[in-house]
Every structure is written in C-alpha cells, then in structure tokens.
Amino acid sequence: MVFIVRADLERLCSFIFQALGFPHEEAADCAEILVAADARGIKSHGVARIKRYASGIKAGFIKGGVTPRVLHETPLSLVLDGEGAMGLSLSKRSMERVIAKAREQGMAFCSIRNSNHFGIAGFYAEMAAREDMIGIAMTNTAALGVPTFARKAMFGTNPIAFAAPGLKGMRFSLDMATTTVPRGKIEVYQREGKELPPGWAVGSNGLTAQDPRSLLDAMLCQQGGGLLPLGGAGETHGGYKGYGLAVLVDILCALTSGGVFGEAVRDSEITSARVCHCFMAIRLDILRPPEDFKRDLSRMLEALASLEPAEGASRVYYPGLKEQEAEALSNKQGVPLTETVWQQLKTLAKSLEVALPPVKAAPGA
C-alpha cells in the first residue's frame, strides 16, 4: 500500500480531469467523490476508476462542461437529461438542487437519464444528511444481475443509498448494491489475481463462476451469466428480495426519467453504460423537531454498536460506521492505495504531464 495526503490526492485527480478537458469546478467535484471512496475503504469505486473514465472521455462518450437539459420541473421535482455528462459532478450538482428544493418545499425528487457512472451512492445521500435531511440516492447500471431462476442478466447492480443524521456527527449511512456484490468488487479481485468466492456470481450455465476475468468479459459482451441478486441463488436465502429491489431502482431511476433500463443498459469496451439516477431529500422538520429525531437516531445507533458480538467477532457495526472510521484514519494517515492503483495513476498522470504528489511513509514505519 501507498498513502497519499487526501488534499494532495484530490489535487492530483482534479488536475488529471482538467488535463482531460474538464472545467476546474467539475474536475474538483470528480476528484472529491472518487477520493472519498478510497478514504472510506471503498476501493472498488475510488481513483482506480479514473483509467476507465479517461477512456470514455477520450472517446467522447463522457463529456465535460455539459449543461443538463431540463425535461420537467416543479417546485419539488426535477427531471434531467444528462446529455452524456460525467455522472460524478452532475450528480453532486443535482443533489444540491434537490436539497435547495427540499429547503423550500419540505421534500424533493430528481431523476436523470443519459448520464454516466456516478461513484459511491452514499456520497449524495450524505449530502442531504448533513443538512438535517434524510437523503436517498440510486442509480441503475449496465445489466449485470441475473434474476432469480434465470441465467441471463436483466438488471444492474442498481445500488441504493440512504442516510440520516444523528447528534455530534453520528450518521446512519446505508450504501448497498442490490446484487451480492458490485462489479467493482469483481474488478478488485481481477486486479489482485484472486478467485471469486462461491455465491457471488454464475456463468452462462447458471453454475458458480470463480474466474473474475472470464466473468467480466462475459458480462461486457452479455454472453450469459452475471452477478447474483442480494440473497444469492434461488429462494432459500431470499435472492428474490434483491431481485425485486434491483427492479425497484430501475423504476425510480429510468422509468421516471424516460431513460434506458434492464438489458438495454449496456457497457462498451471503452466505457460504462449511459445510466439513470434518482435523488431524494426529506427535511426532518416536516416530521418532527430535528434535534429530537437526531437524538433518537443516536440512541438507536449506540444501542446497535454496543451489542455483544458473536463468538469470533470483535464488534458490531451499524451501517456507515466502518466507512466513517476508515475516513477518519485516512484523514490522519493518508488515503491508502494499492501499489497497482498507484502505478496506474502515475502512468496516466505522466501521459497527461501532471505532476505527482509525494507519498507518505506507511503508518508505523
């Protein structure tokens, strides 16, 4: 592992996006969101993805400096055509508009079509939570998930994020794929040369897939097989629940914006698919006094975290706690990157004539 001061890593990534033709503020948004993922330990959605974004940008599939087209707007709703904009910055700016509408109306909703990969869904839900609101964010993705009892992918990893604030910085933050794992986790295993655990994915024959490279190629070309829904294969462990949640995300993201859904959402060899997003914000004070809500949420989270752990486990976490603790450590010690990801970033920066920041000594070295 290498460790980079967070501000330095954000600056490097921002310069890379600027060198690829993005306006300064948009590049800074992209860098902030990607580095946040690595800082929280979500390396599947961190700066490792810049290489793929760069390919899409150079091919003209992902565009910088785009103004999304308003398809429909009311005081509490907004529907946009992203016109191929970068999903990261477009989503941040759109959630800011949702929050502004919610301040006026109590709650607000936005859906977007024709966008691109937007990073970690939890980033946008937490934007609302920091404003004394409940935040919700979703996106559909390329068809990678296999419905219960099928052998063909018909929905994406379709993540759902939900965030709510507690007292003194405490926060419930759920950010989950509706498949057993996101594709990014498969990419991590491929980069690290590891076999996939049973129960994550199946091949075109409906049997367990263990080679990440073969699975990634098959999913890209829609040759059959893919990721299992949350809960796994069949009905025994509730795989139909993850399947249902994935379709729910497609409805809220794609059907409300008039975008593509299901197997029509396809990746190319160059970049990720054009996708649809959904964002919501609900002001706490339309339900009850915010301090009362936050006090009760804090009590709930403290009760969860104080549970006696099962034999062999060290502690019990509530959703978001691991990521919050990892982020605090990254802010202190530097953001950790694998040597492979750091080399990729260095190669890209060199090709764009972007200067590299210093690397910190490993903690304890």
**Per-residue pLDDT band at 365 (split at 50, 70, 90):** low
How many residues would you count in the chain? 365
With pLDDT > 70 as the criterion, what percentage of the chain qualifies? 100
- Taking the C-alpha atoms of residue 109 and residue 133, their distance in angstroms, rounded to an integer, is 13
Q: What is the mean pLDDT of residues 181-206?
A: 88
Q: What is the mean pLDDT of residues 357-361?
A: 88
- Taking the C-alpha atoms of residue 292 and residue 271, their distance in angstroms, rounded to an integer, is 46
Q: List beta partners, residue 145.
A: 155, 227
DSSP secondary structure string for all residues of 149-184 = T-SB--B----EEEEEE-STT-EEEEEE-SBSS-HH
Per-residue model confidence as pLDDT tens digits over 43-57:
989 999 999 999 999
Average pLDDT, the chain: 94
**pLDDT for position 268:** 79
Per-residue model confidence as pLDDT tens digits over 214-232:
988 888 888 888 999 999 8
Per-residue model confidence as pLDDT tens digits over 268-307:
777 778 999 999 999 999 999 999 999 999 999 999 999 9
Domains and CATH numbers, the chain: 2-289+328-342 (3.30.1370.60)
Per-residue model confidence as pLDDT tens digits over 62-97:
999 999 999 999 999 999 999 999 999 999 999 999
- pTM above the 0.85 mark? yes
Res 149 pLDDT > 90: no
